[in-house]
């Protein structure tokens, strides 16, 4: 079975695929797909389409000896840097401290937060009492 080449993209058309197009002047064109046919009828330049064989031949993108090119492997390297205003040294200190020390610091921070919250609540309660006394005196 003879394999035709697409008139537009210059790619091989497998047997049973593609379309044959006859112009009014008698010239016959073979197309791999509707995309190729549309571009050909619109008189577009096949050298401008990156997916076509014409472009690849023009820009020498195809392999000369049909061997696969070596895959370029880019090795990623880990970069350590500070996060959210904390320097790398501080992060390493936090990472390397013992769990007991870390837990003690955490509990101390929790106690301080609770004390601050309690103090704010007491202050608010005292202000409320002062306001209620002022309201009672006006009546």
pLDDT in tens, 99-123: 898 899 899 999 999 999 999 999 9
| Mean pLDDT value of segment 35-48 | 90
CB within 8 Å of 36: residues ≥ 6 apart: 6, 7, 8, 9
- Sign of the dihedral through C-alpha 62, 65, 68, 69: negative
Look at 47-61, 89-103, 114-128 and tell me which has the smallest mean pLDDT. 47-61
CB distance 40 to 8 below 8 Å: yes
DSSP 8-state code for residue 47 = G
In three-state secondary structure terms, 14 is: coil
Return the DSSP state at 52.
S
The predicted structure's pLDDT at residue 62:
64
Average of pLDDT values for 74-102? 83
Residue 71 has pLDDT above 80, yes or no: no
**pLDDT confidence of residue 31:** 92
Asked whether the whole model's pTM tops 0.85, one would answer: no
Percent of the chain residues topping a pLDDT of 90: 29
Task: Return the pLDDT at 102.
Answer: 86
| CA dist 61 → 6, 10, 50, 54, 55 (Å) | 19, 14, 10, 10, 8
């Amino acid at each position: 079975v003879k394999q035709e080449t697409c008139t537009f993209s210059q790619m091989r058309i497998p047997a049973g695929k593609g379309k044959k197009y006859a112009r009014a002047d008698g010239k016959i064109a073979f197309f791999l797909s509707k995309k190729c046919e549309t571009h050909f009828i619109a008189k577009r330049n096949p050298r401008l389409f990156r997916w076509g064989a014409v472009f690849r031949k023009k820009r020498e993108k195809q392999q000369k000896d049909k061997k696969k090119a070596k895959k370029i492997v880019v090795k990623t390297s880990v970069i350590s840097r500070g996060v959210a205003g904390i320097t790398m040294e501080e992060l390493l200190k936090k990472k390397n401290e013992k769990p007991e020390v870390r837990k003690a610091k955490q509990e101390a921070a929790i106690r301080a937060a609770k004390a601050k919250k309690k103090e704010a609540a007491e202050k608010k309660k005292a202000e409320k009492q002062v306001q209620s006394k002022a309201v009672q005196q006006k009546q």
